[in-house]
Structure 1
């Protein structure tokens, strides 16, 4: 364990030393005229910058248009798209300001009122001036709206250009890593690439000399030492402090473990990011940098943060120093074997990713860019490949069983994905392999982060809100909440929070290449819903694939939602089982309708395009589907009005049993012999139905005895009450009762009545009571009256014999 920790420390130290060498080496000096504003902005506090005017925005948009060319690389197009979106945002802000100014002018004109025949010349001139200002603002607002739309269209065009560039590259076949041409592109770049790299090398020398100048040498050395201290010492101190605080403040359980994992990951990311930020500040403060160098530093810092995020996730999930705090169920042997994977992967990404950022800044040739991307794909794929091999060997060596469920499918999915990436790479489709490898890495990071956040959020809700936990009990007593309502609130909050986190994780995992989460959120807020009909179906293969994906994910989501309602939320309420089942079924129907609506919207199918289908269905309903539609409507009535519900004991047309399920067409009734009868729903609406358990869930057990006239009725009354009271199925409330029903020539008729918790328990309780009562009557020597009947005997002479008592 200590050896693994030492190796991780050496890997992190090597990465920091590489960063210290790389950042100053690739900084580029700028000409003096361009650097002066940059240096001035980094000195004293700059004055407040005024909002750009309409002319400034037009000029910025023109400059962006001039830079958009077919030969531009993807990184340049991405920055130009961000610039266009920024212009659009500033134009929208200017439009809002102009609208406020126009409203103020309207208020002033309303105060002046209409033109009067004898008004003062001052009012007339003031009205003319305000009207002129208003007209000018209205004209500017119109132009600004046009500018905003132009910026939006330009951003859309750039995105389409990037997509077409990506499509053309992903289908292009080049030299594979098995050929010498691939490696010669990396080792021997073109003359143009060499010239640009030599220019960077010259800038590196000037920046390096500037950073190590006598006046800046001590400051730069202090910055490097400070970054090392933050990376090594502060990270350990912060992690130790957070662990102590978690152990002291949080109760023992899952919340402590999830909080510790989150604290370990955050401490790693924060300290590494702080160290690199300090190092960047030291470089910027000791040298004059151009915009390209600033762009390179920003990209490198983003890369370092991402690599630190990978290391932090690995340490948070594996928890090698503290295996008992490990949140996921990973055996110690596998965790130890996979301990080196995150830091080595981060270090490889740091080395190769730095070259990618350099190619982006110097605008290298397409051949060199594709070759470096192929090298990145090769490194990432091999890292995942060796990780899978190490996982498999460790599992076989220690005879560890394969995990079940979704966790058991993860290695298989990753293996297939890595196999496709390597196959594309060896076939020469480097851009496709790069896309698959980077997407696999990104989805792994998003999935791991989502697991940590979902676990932490669920544990917080369970610990602080659940009435079964000390924190929840204290909160409930402080706020005066009932345990049932508190459990419902905890379940709903945990479910909604986890759903939002999972939705965000899915959106981020399948984020289009080159887009940011902010752009995705902005695109959702700008969705427009119109009532325009397409008039004809226009379905393309991509829409069909998207519709299939929406259908599968939607049905899976509806199933998960039904299980969550049926197993988590509704059991916390005071609803009976029948109401819970009906509500879950209704949720399933509503979810299915919404999924179908989303699929139709994805396929661009309007309801007006389905008029011929509705017409055909109407004819079919008139002939053969009438009974099906009738049963469907009856099923909806049963679920909403609930004359019968799941769990009721009903009797219908000779069928008597318990309702087990109400489907969309028929209802399943389980008989006493455990057989199931399928009854159409329309029969529950059109026929007489006897619902035994609807009005009263209790069952009545009744016994009637016919005793001789000389029997002591008080003694019999005590005997029956004692028998009913002693039986465990008979309820105390309502209490059993004994009634003297009648006095006939055959004897005394005495009836006893008791209640059980369900009509289904009546038969068994009545049988037990009869055994008990008849046994005690026999012990007391009391016999029941024999029933009397008249028997006619024919002796052949037609004479009637006197009646004889039948025994």
Structure 2
């Protein structure tokens, strides 16, 4: 119980520190009239074209004098807002123009004898329409200018980031690094004093005698929401999960999601209550308003980290833990989310202050380096505790990709610390923030993917009570319902995984919102892939795309072969052919994507095609022929995986059809590689294609005085008693012939596969010959003819 108590203590300390830091910032009222950010925003009513032009000009002026990444981000959002308002204005103008066109259509074309009032009305409407068309043209130009300005600001942010990330500053091992934060410049001190004065003024207003009671009431309410509200909400949701959800993975994943969400929702509600309560009582400056927004985002992010840790580790209830983490490991790293959140709140506060006051570059870089140092040390000591606990308890590495996570994080942290000690503070800050962001996105993606898969399995699978009830209500067959459940789970998990990967590795200097806007503005028109100009960054990106793509194709093939296709009524050969064909298609599409990443145009591959044509003419004919034959085998399926074939003296089971050759396993377990073209150009005997049953036949030649009826009963009894002989079609005995050598009788029976014929026939021969010997019936021996030659030599020639 000690780790649980410590966790609660640290979580409470985190909330108290966050509230104390943000109390002055929450004292917000109406913004000051000289707020520069408000000058960039649109009026409450619909803006006019002139107002939008003025706003865009102000943004351009501020971009030229801004060197702060946060400031550039705000200006980019303002430019996108102008673009959005311009698009709205364009839609309104289009509606007005359409209305004027309707009125002009009603008036019709000018007539020689029409009244002057109609002519003047038509003239006024035409002039108004022409003016609106001109305004719409100008508004379109304005919208495009705003879009271009937003793109230029993004490029400027990237250039600023690239220039800073390669710059070298003072190392944390030197005194210059610490003196920059302890003794900032006079300009930074002046801005800090101005911000602290604004905070002090807001605090005095919030704690004024007439408003003090209301302020403390709001504070107590926020604390109750976090402390009591979280506990009550968490217990209530857990009780509902246990009561309504069946036992299994769905209950565990839902419980983990519930614990994480209650942590985030309660602290979000507490901070929102503080924001609302003090906003109505105090007047804040523009800097305090900006600090308020940034600190609220920081606190919610830290609460999200704590909620993820509590939901995944489940220290109070280890049996509810969703990931397969041993209890000693979970207890050893249980304080990691809280310590990480505390470090981010403490040092992140100074980062937000630097952003608000637009501090000098030296102070900003030094604080960023301190953030990288603190976060890297938290990861470093957590890895040490993990390694020490695993060695002490004698635990094995986690299976699969989970076992690689500690190694990857250790290497990443090592690079961050090396860059930090070498003086590349911005590079270390970038690596640390990227590691933190990837960790949060990966944990969230794991939780959502697991929960979604468990929902599909529990509620849709016919093997579960909920899925069985749903299938009976909708009249679905179990097979189709299982296919729908597997397909839906696979599609949902794929989309969640793709979203997580995109968010985790999104470009630096961008946010998820900006990334979403970029996807919505993609142009999917017909464009060439570009020229043959390949940069080193494109090569690295192409290698990453190739690795991820091959891994994705492998995962897709495994999912098809193990999850989706077994739920269908396809035979094993069809499933194997389909998986192979999907793999080939995926490789082709991946090759196209890699070429597109390298900016390789298809027209630039003309020389490659020419070289291939010459090669085909001389030495690659057999390879191309086998390749085309392999595609024919996979599509037409004259033979498939699992068939028993005979080809040019090779007889056995087809185990695999590759793009060039087919693998056939012989009866002695050896494998023969046969080129695919032989299956197209030669005669192939497919034993199992038309009939999957095998025939066991025995022919006996008996003396003429044999009781054939008794022999018939003996043969039928022997075939019927053998376990491999099928009852349907039933065995049969036929009288083949009557010769001077004896009576020829044939018996036949069916087995479930031609592969079982040899063993069954051998067993039946032993049985039949033994029973014939017991009855005293011998097989007929061939008669001999003696010929005497002139020289007295005797020649014996068997008859028959």
- Interval of TM-score (by shorter of Structure 1 and Structure 2): over 0.9
Find 2:183's aligned residue among 166, 175, 188: 188
1:517-558: CA deviation from partner (whole Å, max 9, x where unpaired): 232222223222454557741111111111111111111111
Aligned to 1:23: 22
Question: Cα–Cα, structure 1 residues 32 and 550, in superposed 2: closer, same or farther, change >3 Å?
Answer: closer
Aligned to 1:752: 747
Aligned to 2:393: 398
Aligned to 1:156: 151
In the TM superposition, what are the counterparts of 1:219-368 in structure 2 within 5 Å? 219-368=214-363
Give the Cα separation in 2 of the matches to 1:30 and 1:404. Answer: 54
Question: Cα–Cα, structure 1 residues 31 and 258, in superposed 2: closer, same or farther, change >3 Å?
Answer: closer
1:602-637: CA deviation from partner (whole Å, max 9, x where unpaired): 111111111111112111111111111111111111
1:755 aligned counterpart, secondary structure:
strand
Aligned to 1:12: 11
1:5-64: CA deviation from partner (whole Å, max 9, x where unpaired): 22222222222322333223457889996299999xxxxxxxx94322222221211111
Q: Is the 8 A contact 1:28 1:200 kept in 2?
A: no
Q: Please state how far the C-alpha of 1:773 moved relative to its aligned partner.
A: 1.4
Give the Cα separation in 1 of the matches to 2:786 and 2:220. Answer: 121
Give the Cα separation in 2 of the matches to 1:68 and 1:332. Answer: 53
Q: Tell me, yes or no, if structure 1 residue 490 matches structure 2 residue 485.
A: yes
Q: Please state how far the C-alpha of 1:141 moved relative to its aligned partner.
A: 1.6
Q: Please state how far the C-alpha of 1:227 moved relative to its aligned partner.
A: 0.8
Q: Tell me, yes or no, if structure 1 residue 736 matches structure 2 residue 735.
A: no
Give the Cα separation in 1 of the matches to 2:269 and 2:485. Answer: 37
Question: Cα–Cα, structure 1 residues 260 and 32, in superposed 2: closer, same or farther, change >3 Å?
Answer: closer
Aligned to 2:412: 417
Q: Please state how far the C-alpha of 1:275 moved relative to its aligned partner.
A: 0.8
Q: Please state how far the C-alpha of 1:677 moved relative to its aligned partner.
A: 1.4
Give the Cα separation in 2 of the matches to 1:568 and 1:32. Answer: 58
Aligned to 2:636: 641
TM-score (norm. length: structure 1)? 0.95
Aligned to 2:546: 551
Aligned to 2:84: 89
Aligned to 2:625: 630
1:473-510: CA deviation from partner (whole Å, max 9, x where unpaired): 12112212111111111111111111111101101101
Q: Please state how far the C-alpha of 1:655 moved relative to its aligned partner.
A: 1.3
Find 2:782's aligned residue among 754, 779, 787: 787
1:500 aligned counterpart, secondary structure:
helix
Aligned to 2:770: 775
Question: Cα–Cα, structure 1 residues 639 and 762, in superposed 2: closer, same or farther, change >3 Å?
Answer: same
Q: Please state how far the C-alpha of 1:745 moved relative to its aligned partner.
A: 2.4
Give the Cα separation in 2 of the matches to 1:181 and 1:317. Answer: 41
Question: Cα–Cα, structure 1 residues 714 and 436, in superposed 2: closer, same or farther, change >3 Å?
Answer: same
In the TM superposition, what are the counterparts of 1:607-756 in structure 2 within 5 Å? 607-756=602-751
1:694-725: CA deviation from partner (whole Å, max 9, x where unpaired): 11111111112222233232222222222112
Work out the number of aligned pairs and report it: 796
1:100-153: CA deviation from partner (whole Å, max 9, x where unpaired): 333333333334433333334343333323322322222122111111111111
Aligned to 2:198: 203
Aligned to 1:505: 500
Q: Please state how far the C-alpha of 1:752 moved relative to its aligned partner.
A: 1.5
2:691 aligned counterpart, secondary structure:
coil
Give the Cα separation in 1 of the matches to 2:35 and 2:421. Answer: 49
Question: Cα–Cα, structure 1 residues 140 and 35, in superposed 2: closer, same or farther, change >3 Å?
Answer: closer
Give the Cα separation in 2 of the matches to 1:442 and 1:223. Answer: 33
Q: Is the 8 A contact 1:537 1:609 kept in 2?
A: yes
1:271-329: CA deviation from partner (whole Å, max 9, x where unpaired): 01111111122221220123332221111111011000010011011111001111111
Q: Is the 8 A contact 1:706 1:747 kept in 2?
A: yes
Question: Cα–Cα, structure 1 residues 669 and 124, in superposed 2: closer, same or farther, change >3 Å?
Answer: same
2:785 aligned counterpart, secondary structure:
coil
Question: Cα–Cα, structure 1 residues 534 and 773, in superposed 2: closer, same or farther, change >3 Å?
Answer: closer
Find 2:383's aligned residue among 388, 395, 406: 388
Question: Cα–Cα, structure 1 residues 806 and 639, in superposed 2: closer, same or farther, change >3 Å?
Answer: closer
Q: Is the 8 A contact 2:35 2:286 kept in 1?
A: no
Q: Please state how far the C-alpha of 1:399 moved relative to its aligned partner.
A: 1.4
Aligned to 1:44: none
TM-score (norm. length: structure 2)? 0.96
Q: Is the 8 A contact 2:553 2:583 kept in 1?
A: yes
Give the Cα separation in 2 of the matches to 1:675 and 1:321. Answer: 57
Q: Is the 8 A contact 1:28 1:290 kept in 2?
A: no
Q: Is the 8 A contact 2:26 2:274 kept in 1?
A: no
Give the Cα separation in 2 of the matches to 1:658 and 1:154. Answer: 66
Q: Please state how far the C-alpha of 1:244 moved relative to its aligned partner.
A: 0.5
Give the Cα separation in 2 of the matches to 1:671 and 1:387. Answer: 56
Give the Cα separation in 2 of the matches to 1:626 and 1:303. Answer: 64
- Any stretches of 5+ residues in structure 1 without a counterpart? 40-47
Find 1:542's aligned residue among 537, 556, 561: 537
Q: Is the 8 A contact 1:644 1:691 kept in 2?
A: yes
- Tell me whether 166-175 or 393-402 shows the greater mean CA deviation: 393-402
Find 1:514's aligned residue among 509, 516, 535: 509
Find 1:218's aligned residue among 197, 206, 213: 213
2:726 aligned counterpart, secondary structure:
coil
Give the Cα separation in 2 of the matches to 1:671 and 1:331. Answer: 47
- Any stretches of 5+ residues in structure 2 without a counterpart? none
Aligned to 1:75: 70
Give the Cα separation in 2 of the matches to 1:793 and 1:408. Answer: 90
Q: Please state how far the C-alpha of 1:682 moved relative to its aligned partner.
A: 1.1
2:125 aligned counterpart, secondary structure:
helix
Give the Cα separation in 1 of the matches to 2:31 and 2:158. Answer: 38
Q: Please state how far the C-alpha of 1:406 moved relative to its aligned partner.
A: 1.1
Aligned to 2:518: 523
Q: Is the 8 A contact 1:660 1:668 kept in 2?
A: yes
